[in-house]
Structure 1
């Protein structure tokens, strides 16, 4: 195996489970921490992954498994970005190099992977509720000695769900320990009044009698230095003997142990490949490449905002990931990072829309799932023209099942009043962003993928040359005689590449349907009257998605053409590169080439 001799040190190489860790003396644990940190840095520098969060909790991770009887005591990590050290200490050291790769271990805690992973995570702010549920269940079973620990960050604890869990836990006798890992940052710096409160606590400016956690009936302790492993162990041992809800506040530094990661915590959250010894990130050749879709969004909205003072931007804790930071930097009074609070983001946007503001609410597709009721009840039911910009739609790659944005077409197209659109390329994205602020009478969801587009010169030749998009219209990309291929979104590019490779391209007609709702029914009538074979292709789930909309249309109008629906199968797709996952779903260029060759 690639990572063995030079990367395993004397102590870590003999730790195959927390039981082995507990055989060591406390004096040996700082060396374990150093070895564990170096091990993570060495592998992530080559294999990539989430770096900073795991480096920040090395001492805490060791202390938790040293003090508590895991897995009998139940440990829940919030989000899971910070769980690499946990995975390495719980029997996955020798295959940690497969992290986030196809067939390898997951980048997040996963119940099917290890009995030490007590709860599957990937989205934030779930740990307190999950651990409380476990603690109440233990009480009901008569197991009053079992410990239940939730580790949550200061960005995640600001989410509504975390407060719901705290509110409930405070009126129970559940044996629950909530550990707040306070490093003042999630992916981007933490925001909001709670951050200011926690900062005041850390600086000793907040009187203990006004402690908000204590007021919720938690036994509060801290803040303590989360990198002082002896202090952490001492406090965990004390709390281990206290019954009921407890709260430990620890202070850590994200990226601890790698100078560059400590100094640039946003960039080193997931830095890509870098030099393990110097920390220098390997530069990627990005000249003359097509733009990232997130940058097309961010730069276009900024340009539109310069011309229209009613334009507002909202994101729940993803300013850099969504590129709303371009607008935030220039118009800080009109662009808002509301923290990890998707429900609030959607209803905040709805409130602004009632007052005539034009609101671009940018949320990763997988995270909009967390605000589904607000989309229906607060936006669509009132027919408020909020503009939802769904970044990371479709397969996202190595983050896997918790992060793929493959459900949005299915869960959005059933909502009355809501327009659902997916651009074929970055110019179409720019044009729909422009069109959306011209006075749409309905809310719209615009979905676009992670990664780069296909037009390298988009800014020099197309930027600000906006064209109005006609709502509900499809596009005939290519004529053909035998089979009609209907696509939605950027998967259209795979189809064009595949058709170009077959020997009988004249057999294939290709139509792009950017609007899943409303569908271009006039075009569909023409297609079904012309073709006996129809293939639909999308990068969303086939159950309830774009293809389902086409089959519903055919059934409603008694068309009998054979319809083949391609997309994401009815299962949760695991981690791997986007290309590997498209191959698995048979929507990659090669699979489509083989299919088209049969017609």
Structure 2
């Protein structure tokens, strides 16, 4: 057995090994495609079971992927996956089979399409709902070049809920350029009767010959004196009514898309037939396919939510791999604390953007369903919706991953902060998130929030402080944001009733004589450990200030630090540009505190950070305990 035989886990994949170029899929005997689909499924299951990943979405589009590569030539044509966690089979078929075992590992294959990784990844997609806009841009470019490319977007039904998807559809229908949108609908069940009839209607009503015939008939009807226009309109309405009775395509037809479907997304023959028809159209087309998340792997089919993004598991049973520990995650602490506060305050409303489990608000949904709102993948709407609630005296808790709040920056500024409304943002995954990589690291929130007037920004050092900050944000009469990291805490004991913190008050955890470290959030306890080891090894005493607040800064404590120490280091798990270190330097300059001080800042440099474990990335960036020790020793010249 050669090296490639076992890279994706146990088992042999003879058909996969035979795919040396994506075009080999099209030349494969159609009868072998189901076998290739099975090999793809097994390869993906074995790989994800070892290192985690987005399993259910990728298993659901195996046949769709094969049909696309059987029908189109993506060396010339263009393909964009939305969102990119559907793209594992695409990666395997485009020259990355032998390296697929490195999926989401440091220096390995990204979990999302990435243009820098492969020429077959035509657009990077880590955040959802961007594919239609991107593909429309490609289609317009193709039209300008006159090269006749087919430009295809594959978008999930969840991604289709976002406003940008409809903005793209609206513009595409208006421009009328040749492009294909494949709507991957994995929420509906597949009915063979309705599916067969819809497939028949789609093929017949969209056939190029019939399309030309309809245009000719319309022209003839319009030439009839006096009643021609009315007859043409009646004929069009009759066709639309007939199609809408059997298919859900009228919305897309109204946007000037030719609608085909619903099609069984696991029927290779039906998919290939439809895509062959699509290629002959010269205007926007939407193909509606029905798929099943986790298809072909029983545990994922039964629990697609769990297997949407999963850690290591036993491939035979689907049971999660056992890990030592047992400390609760910051996500769970947030959810439990919010529920605890909501029991006493009926004005608290929880809002999430299609991620109740991911943000920990599922417990709130179960206990207070009337005060829980999942808006779908609509972060912009979520923020303005929360602002509307706040105008009526409610206390909305908007739970969104840090990276996804970027999508609603304008709403945070104008709809919340400008009006000084009591909207609370709870930003999970603040900092480095690990294997999901550059698109998901939440390393910009301090930078893009702290310069907005009226907002308060906090980050806890541990679980107990997170609970206090949640209570503080809810109590504060104005916009507030709490960012906290992915993963488990340090084992801090929670207060029975989380106390309200004083806004803009820091916490001196350790005093010293030789230097000071100012830090916040996840870097606080590693900083304490670093200075304790320095003390033991060198006798140097270094103070540690937990800033607690990135805005407003703990000015009293900062003045004390600058008055007593000439050597100061600031550490954060946020972009250095505009982050806590930048804020402290601005404060020192504006208050004439820079009198012979030597200041070093540690954080995320001016670059996008790729995937790897949190431990690996923190070490590489020098913001773990060892990195802090090294920088402090250099600062003190020990």
TM range (shorter): over 0.9
Q: Secondary structure of 1:565's match?
A: strand
Check if 1:100 corresponds to 2:82.
no
Cα distance in 1 for partners of 2:619, 2:460 equals 22
Is 1:148 paired with 2:151?
yes
Instruction: Assess if the C-alpha contact under 8 Å between 1:499 and 1:505 holds in 2.
Output: no
Residue 89 of structure 1 and its aligned partner are, at CA, apart by: 0.1
Q: 1:207 to 1:230 in 2, by over 3 A?
A: closer
- Structure 2 counterpart of 1:30, from 26, 29, 34: 34
SS at 2:13 equivalent: coil
Q: In structure 2, what is the Cα distance between the partners aligned to 1:525 and 1:345? A: 39
Structure ranking higher in helix proportion:
2
- TM-superposition CA deviations, 1:71-125 (whole Å, max 9, x none): 2100000121110000000000000011111111111000011111000010000
In structure 1, the partner of 2:184 is 181
Structure 2: distance between partners of 1:316 and 1:118? 27
Find the aligned partners of 2:45 and 2:24 in 1 and give their Cα distance.
23
In the alignment, which of 519, 529, 533 is matched to residue 487 of structure 1? 519
Could you say if the C-alpha distance between residues 252 and 473 of structure 1 is closer, same or farther in structure 2, counting changes exceeding 3 Å? same
| Aligned equivalent of 2:303, options 260, 264, 272 | 264
Structure 1 segment 79-98 matched on structure 2, within 5 A: 79-98=83-102
Partner of 1:469: 501
Does the CA-based 8 Å contact 1:353-1:359 persist in structure 2?
A: yes
The match for 2:66 among 62, 66, 78 is 62
Determine which of 369, 378, 397 is the counterpart of 2:415: 378
CA distance in 1, matches of 2:400, 2:251: 30
Please say if residues 303 and 464 of structure 1, whose CA atoms lie closer than 8 Å, have aligned partners that are also in contact: no
Structure 2-normalised TM-score?
0.88
Distance 1:342 1:428 in 2: 27
Paired with 1:99 and 1:546, the residues of 2 have a C-alpha distance of 33
Match of 1:162 among 162, 165, 183: 165
SS at match of 2:497: coil
- Show the counterpart of 1:551: 585
Q: Does 1:527 align with 2:531?
A: no
Query: CA separation in 2, counterparts of 1:4 and 1:396?
Result: 24
Pairwise CA distance, 1:593: 2.1
**For 2:128 and 2:372, how far apart are their aligned partners in 1?**
23
Aligned to 1:357: 394
Cα contact 1:392–1:450 (8 A) shared by 2? yes
1:557 to 1:163, Cα distance in 2 relative to 1, 3 A: same
Q: What is the CA–CA distance in structure 2 between the aligned matches of 1:341 and 1:206, rounded to whole Å?
A: 30
Question: Which has the larger Rg?
Answer: 2
CA displacement 1:230-257 (0-9 Å, x = unmatched) = 1111111111111110000000000001
Do the aligned residues in 2 keep the contact of 1:484 with 1:533 (CA within 8 Å)? yes
Q: Quick check: 2:9–2:43 contact (8 Å CA) kept in 1?
A: no
Aligned length: 576
Q: Paired residue for 1:255? A: 294
Tell me what 1:277 maps to: 316
**Is 1:393 matched with 2:430?**
yes
Which residue of the partner structure matches residue 542 of structure 1?
A: 576
1:193-234: CA deviation from partner (whole Å, max 9, x where unpaired)? xxxxx9xx9xx9965487211111110011011001111111
Structure 2 CA distance for partners of 1:207 and 1:587, relative to 1, 3 Å: same
- After TM superposition, give the deviation of residue 22 of structure 1 in Å: 2.0
Gaps spanning 5+ residues in structure 2: where? 190-197, 202-242
Say which SS state the counterpart of residue 465 (structure 1) adopts.
coil
Q: Indicate the SS of the match to 2:416.
A: helix
Give 1:505 deviation, angstroms: 5.6
| 1:580 to 2:616 alignment | yes
The equivalent residue for 1:136 is 140
| RMSD of aligned residue pairs (Cα, Å) | 1.9
TM-score of the pair, normalised by structure 1: 0.93
Q: Deviations over 1:505-532 (max 9, x none)?
A: 6421100101111112122111111111
